[in-house]
Amino acid sequence: MLNIGERNPVQKILMGPGPSTVSPRVLRALAEPTLGHLDPDFLKIMNEVMEMLRYVFNTKNQLTMPMSGTGSSGMETTFVNILEPGDKVIVAVKGVFGMRMVDMAQRCGAEVIQITAPWGKPVQPDDLRKALATNKGIKVFAVVHAETSTGVLQPLKELSDICSEHDVLFLVDTVTSLGGVPVDIDDNEISLAFSGTQKCLSCPPGLAPITFGEKAYHVLQNRKTKVQSWYLDLTMIARYWGKERVYHHTAPVNMIYALHESLRIIAEEGRENRFARHRKNSEALSAGLEAMGLKLVVDKEYRLPSLTTVYSPESVDEAEVRKQLMQQYHIEIGGGLGDFRGKAWRVGLMGYASTQTNVILFLTALGNILETMGQKVDKRGALDAAVGAFG
């Protein structure tokens, strides 16, 4: 007989780069009775999920739905459906997830041209202009809107305008932005985009919302070769989510319940109110960290409201600080990746976890821990600055 211990996870405050803390309403939705994936009641829920995703993406795109899989499956869905062997794609690399897009595009047999920016900085539109001027026949330009490894929020409109001038598809990773900051698919003329449920949507990991505009859908319908992934082939999956309801694979029914509820919560709060909440809490956190004497990684105009990167003091072990936050306060934050490994923390304020309470609790906890490590910090100044930012 197997000797398996009882499962009893402790409630923790997830303030890292994801997953984020899930609302009790969403957890209750997960526990509702499972229906068949073609049950009329479930099909109604699917329709409502698509409608609410269009609201959050701010798009009228018909092909808007969640893919079965985490955010990386959304990334792979966009690449395998739009690229064929020999296609040319430009990818902006300014962190881990730009590098991941390069890998996926190459696996599709595409020729990849990279434009880069230093970690902690956005990609510059002039670099895209130069790449398009020197490389003919580009099919797609791909960029991360909210780079989770650096905390940079990439401006999109000028990049979009350049893509339109050159008749290039504009592909955007919105994994850490959707539901926390405006994505505005239609206004930004984004051809196709993907996201994940575990960040600002405050749903457990397991689904990847995607949206394809008319131009991208036309490219998909006129492929010369089969989509290389059977599981992620939108030419088949769209028929299940569309009017035909043709079976492709068994949908993760209860996860779709959870997404449905998380989207209902967003609709109840309202997009603009939600964006304002994320922005205000981020500003308060930044003010508190700077008043504490810490240095933020990203310039103010490019800071991502849902994820703040801050340099750890050189005199402390940044991993030990994270360990103490978890042990003493049950608070999870992330360590640095890539160029910031061992040098910075990533503090998430996403969806349900983006609250004034969490800002104050985190600043208090961090100040206490740094003091015990012999670091001189202004705890009172940090709290006063945060409270002042809340207004």
Does 137 share its domain with 186?
yes
Does 85 share its domain with 105?
yes
The pLDDT tens digits of the residues spanning 36-82 come to 999 999 999 999 999 999 999 999 999 999 999 999 999 999 999 99
d(CA 73, CA 310): 29
The pLDDT tens digits of the residues spanning 133-165 come to 999 999 999 999 999 999 999 999 999 999 999
Mean pLDDT of 104-120: 98
CATH assignment at residue 373: 3.90.1150.10
- Which amino acid belongs to residue 75? M
Report how far apart, in Å, the C-alpha atoms of 3 and of each of 9, 10, 76, 127, 282 are. 18, 21, 39, 58, 45
Q: How confident is residue 189, by pLDDT bands cut at 50, 70 and 90? A: very high
- What domain range includes position 106? 24-268
Inside any domain, residue 12: no
Does 140 share its domain with 159?
yes
- Beta-carbon contacts of 330 under 8 Å, excluding residues fewer than 6 positions away, are 10, 11, 12, 13
Does 161 share its domain with 281?
no
pLDDT at 146: 98
Does 193 share its domain with 338?
no
d(CA 46, CA 358): 33
CATH assignment at residue 79: 3.40.640.10
Tell how far CA 164 is from the center of its chain. 24
The pLDDT tens digits of the residues spanning 329-381 come to 999 999 999 999 999 999 999 999 999 999 999 999 999 999 999 999 999 99
Inside any domain, residue 16: no
The pLDDT tens digits of the residues spanning 235-246 come to 999 999 999 999
Look up residue 365 and give its two tokens: 């906890």
pLDDT at 2: 83
Burial of 281 per CB tally in 10 Å (0-12, 13-18, 19+): buried
